[in-house]
Amino acid sequence: MSTYFTCTLESPIGRLRLCCTEEGLTHVLHTNQQENLPEAWVEQPEHPILAEAIKQLADYFSGTRTDFTLPLAPEGTDFQKAVWQALQTIPYGQTCSYGDIAEQIDRAKAVRAVGTANGSNPLSIFVPCHRVIGKNGTLTGYAGGLTQKKILLDLEAQHTPLTLT
């Protein structure tokens, strides 16, 4: 069994608990998900992966970081990992639908399964599941809550450069 290193961070969307192994970041847990903490864990905020995650999140929340460069080590099925990989291709400040992700991973009829995998994403923010919205443009579920999802989308919209057309 792997040892998980963890720390708690206050953020603009509430308290987050970060977890990692030596391989990479494994979890970003919102306040309402703390029961999902891995069994064997050690509080160690100075762990290099956690320290870098904290720095990158601070940069993200200040609007100076649009992507993350941290080793990620989520645990999940091959299908979940395919969905989570696809989520990482959604550009900062943009959104897409569950159907878009299903098509991207060549599983166009698996929209509900994509939604379930999106909801199981253990690395919110780093794997930007908040950028997935309903086909009709409405905000849909988010592990931290819809208020937190809106905060993240508004933050990204505020810091997205304008483009000429």
Residues noted as catalytic: 129
| Dihedral angle computed from the Cα positions of residues 88, 94, 95 and 101, in that order, rounded to the nearest 10 degrees | -40
Strands 96-97 and 41-43 turn out to be unpaired
What is the end-to-end Cα distance of the chain in Å, rounded?
A: 53
The span from the CA of 132 to the CA of 96, in Å, is 5
* DSSP character at residue 155: H
